[in-house]
């Protein structure tokens, strides 16, 4: 299951999956996929933020 994320309020780097969607940190690159944009882009978070944003994500624990 993938969540559709509203891009309103996200910076271009966050919408491109190059920065964390929560804290905007870009290094190291965010590694946890938390959802997709309506147009199909991947939204990512750093592992620390992913725990708060999407605490139960079975596909990210593999």
**Residues 32-57, buried b or exposed e (16+ Cβ, 10 A)?**
bbbbebeeebbbbbbeebbeebbeeb
The per-residue pLDDT for 9 is 93
pTM across the whole model: 0.78
Residue for token pair 């079975």: 58
- Say yes or no to pLDDT of 60 above 70: no
CB 44 within 8 A of CB 30: yes
The per-residue pLDDT for 27 is 93
The per-residue pLDDT for 3 is 85
pLDDT in tens, 16-50: 999 999 999 999 999 999 999 998 899 999 999 98
């Amino acid at each position: 299951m993938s969540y559709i994320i509203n891009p309103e309020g996200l910076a271009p780097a966050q919408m491109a999956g190059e920065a964390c969607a929560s804290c905007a940190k870009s290094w190291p690159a965010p590694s946890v996929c938390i959802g997709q944009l309506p147009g199909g882009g991947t939204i990512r978070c750093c592992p620390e933020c992913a725990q708060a944003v999407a605490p139960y994500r079975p596909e990210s624990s593999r």
